[in-house]
Amino acid sequence: MIDPRTIDLDALNSATKYPSISTYHELDKKNGGLLETATEFAGEVILTEKVDGTNSRLIIFPTGDYLIGSREELLHARGDLIANPALGIVDALRDLADRITPPDEGVRVYYLEVYGGKVTGASKQYTGQRTVGYRMFDVADVPGSLMGWDRARISAWREEGGQSFLPEDALHVVADKEQIPLTPRLGAINAADLPSGIAPMRDFLAERLPSTRVALDDGAGGRPEGIVLRSVDRSVIAKARFTDYERTLKRRDSGRKK
C-alpha cells in the first residue's frame, strides 16, 4: 500500500498535476489572440461553467492520508501542524479532505476550483463579502506504480493524457457520494451544432452563460469567466473564455478602422 511518508513526493506532485487544457479556438502564439481554427468534437458535448479561481488538488491515499495542493505544489499533509497558506487553499479544503472516502488502491485525486475571497482579481465577480467557495471539476485515479518513474517520464505521461479521469456519469456518482458540489452543468449540445467561428462563439458564450451560476453572496458582480467543453468520455476537452473572444474581436475592429 502506498505510504505518503516514504514515496517520492516530487514524483507524486508531477503525477497528480492537472494537465493543460487548450482553448476552443487556437491561440495565436504571436499576439495571444484567437485563430479561426476550432477544436474538433464528435457526438455529444457537455458544457460546464469555467470558474475563475485557483486550481487545487486533494490527493487521497488508501490509508486515509491525504495531501492538499495547488496546481503546482503540495501545500499540506494530514497531521501537519503547519500548512502553506497560499491562496487560502488548505483552509478551504481541509474539512473536505478529512471526510473523503479513501480509495481501495492507488491514489485518487480530486480537482477543485477554490474561488472567491481574495483568490484572484475576479473574486469580486463571485462575492462581495470575501466569501470562499469550491467546486469540483474532475477526478483522476493514478496507479501507485508511477511513483517509481523519473519525473521527466511522469511529466510526459501526464501531458500526453496518461491520467485516468472519470467520465461524466461516474463523476456525478462520486460528487453525490462525497457531497461535493460540481462546477455548474450548462447542458449538452451536439458537436455539429457548436459554433465554428470566433464571433458566433462569443455570442454562444453570452447566450449559454449570461452570468455566473456560482455566486457566493448577493454582493457578487456576476460576470462569468467562460465555458469548458467536454466530450462525454472526456477524450476531448477545451475552454472558451469571454476575455479571449472580446480581446480578439476588439483587435479586429481596431484593425478595420485604421
Break the chain into its structural domains and give their ranges.
Answer: 9-257
Determine contact, residues 199/249, Cβ cutoff 8 Å. Answer: yes
The residues, any chain, with a CB within 8 Å of residue 186's CB and separated by 6 or more, are 47, 48, 49, 208, 209, 213, 227
Poorest-pLDDT segment among 15-24, 47-56, 191-200: 15-24
Backbone angles phi, psi at 46, to 5 degrees: -90, 135
Whether the pLDDT of residue 253 is over 90: the answer is no
Q: Is the pTM for the entire model greater than 0.85?
A: yes
Residue that is written with C-alpha cell 470558474 in the block: 51
Determine contact, residues 126/134, Cβ cutoff 8 Å. Answer: no
Q: How confident is the model at residue 256 (pLDDT cuts 50, 70, 90)?
A: low
Mean pLDDT of 241-248: 96
| CATH architecture of structural domain 9-257 | 2-Layer Sandwich (3.30)
What whole-number distance in Å separates Cα of residue 117 and Cα of residue 130? 4
Mean pLDDT of 192-213: 97
Assign 46 to helix, strand or coil.
strand
Whether the pLDDT of residue 155 is over 80: the answer is yes
What sign for the dihedral angle of Cα 241, 191, 114, 56? Answer: negative
